[in-house]
Structure 1
Amino acid sequence: MRIVLPGGSGQVGQMLARHFHARGHRVTVLSRSAHPSPWKTLSWDGRTTGDWVTALEGSDLCINLTGRFVNCRYNQANRREIVASRVDATRVLGQVIAGLDRPPALWMNASTATIYRHTLDTQQPNDEFTGVLGGGEPGAPDTWNFSISVAKAWEQAFDEIPTPRTRKVALRSALTLSPDQGGVFDVLLGLVRHGLGGTQGSGKQWVSWIHEVDFIAAVEWIVGHPELEGPVNLAAPSPIHNRDFMRVLRETCGVRIGLPAPAFLIEIGTRFMQTESELVLKSRRVVPGKLMQSGFEFRFEDWPGAAKELVKRWRALQR
Structure 2
Amino acid sequence: MKIVLAGGNGQVGTLLARHFSRIGNEVIVLSRSASSRSPWRVVQWDGRTLGPWSRELEGADAVINLAGKTINCRYTTKNRSEIIASRVESTEAVGSAIQATQVTPKVWINASAAGIYRHSTSAAFTETTTWLGGEGEAVPETWRFAAEVVKTWENTFDAIEVPGVRKIALRTTLAISPDKGGVFDVLLGLVRYGLGGTQGPGTQFISWMHDKDYVRAVEFMIGDESISGPVNMGSPVPLPNAEFMRILRKAAGVKIGLSAPEFALKIGAPILGTEAWLVLKSINVLPGVLERAGFDFQYPEWDVAARNMVRRWKQMNG
Q: TM-score, normalised by structure 1?
A: 0.98
Moved more, 90-99 or 77-86: 90-99
Matches within 5 A, 1:60-71: 60-71=61-72
Amino acid at match of 2:180: Q
CA positional deviation for 1:139: 3.6
Equivalents in 1 of 2:307, 2:136: separation in Å?
Answer: 35
Matches within 5 A, 1:172-183: 172-183=171-182
What is the aligned partner in structure 2 of residue 189 from structure 1?
Answer: 188
What is the aligned partner in structure 2 of residue 20 from structure 1?
Answer: 20
Equivalents in 2 of 1:137, 1:160: separation in Å?
Answer: 24
Are the counterparts in 2 of residues 117 and 137 from structure 1 also a CA contact under 8 Å?
no
Equivalents in 1 of 2:171, 2:138: separation in Å?
Answer: 24
What is the aligned partner in structure 2 of residue 8 from structure 1?
Answer: 8
What is the aligned partner in structure 1 of residue 227 from structure 2?
Answer: 228
What are structure 2's unaligned runs of at least 5 residues? none
1:217-252 Cα offsets, whole Å, 9 max, x none, are 100110111110000111000010000000000111
Given the alignment of the two structures, is residue 200 of structure 1 paired with residue 199 of structure 2, yes or no? yes
What is the aligned partner in structure 1 of residue 121 from structure 2?
Answer: 120
Q: Secondary structure at the match of 1:114?
A: helix
1:50-80 Cα offsets, whole Å, 9 max, x none, are 1101100111110100011111101000011
What is the aligned partner in structure 1 of residue 45 from structure 2?
Answer: 44
Moved more, 308-317 or 98-107: 98-107
Q: Secondary structure at the match of 2:27?
A: strand
What is the aligned partner in structure 2 of residue 30 from structure 1?
Answer: 30
What is the aligned partner in structure 1 of residue 304 from structure 2?
Answer: 305
Given the alignment of the two structures, is residue 92 of structure 1 paired with residue 93 of structure 2, yes or no? yes
Matches within 5 A, 1:144-183: 144-183=143-182
Equivalents in 2 of 1:79, 1:25: separation in Å?
Answer: 36
Percent identity over the alignment is 51
Are the counterparts in 1 of residues 118 and 137 from structure 2 also a CA contact under 8 Å?
no
Given the alignment of the two structures, is residue 273 of structure 1 paired with residue 282 of structure 2, yes or no? no
Q: Secondary structure at the match of 2:171?
A: strand
What are structure 1's unaligned runs of at least 5 residues? none
Equivalents in 2 of 1:24, 1:105: separation in Å?
Answer: 19
CA positional deviation for 1:137: 5.3
Amino acid at match of 1:44: W
Moved more, 136-145 or 56-65: 136-145
Equivalents in 2 of 1:193, 1:206: separation in Å?
Answer: 22
Amino acid at match of 1:144: W
Are the counterparts in 2 of residues 98 and 161 from structure 1 also a CA contact under 8 Å?
no
Moved more, 243-252 or 127-136: 127-136
Are the counterparts in 1 of residues 11 and 182 from structure 2 also a CA contact under 8 Å?
yes
CA positional deviation for 1:135: 1.2
Are the counterparts in 1 of residues 137 and 144 from structure 2 also a CA contact under 8 Å?
no
Q: Structure 1 stretches (4+) deviating beyond 3 angstroms?
A: 136-139
What do you get for the CA RMSD once the two structures are aligned?
A: 1.0
Equivalents in 1 of 2:13, 2:171: separation in Å?
Answer: 15
What is the aligned partner in structure 2 of residue 135 from structure 1?
Answer: 134
Amino acid at match of 1:110: A
Q: Secondary structure at the match of 1:29?
A: strand
Equivalents in 1 of 2:130, 2:315: separation in Å?
Answer: 39
What is the aligned partner in structure 2 of residue 259 from structure 1?
Answer: 258
Q: Secondary structure at the match of 2:170?
A: strand
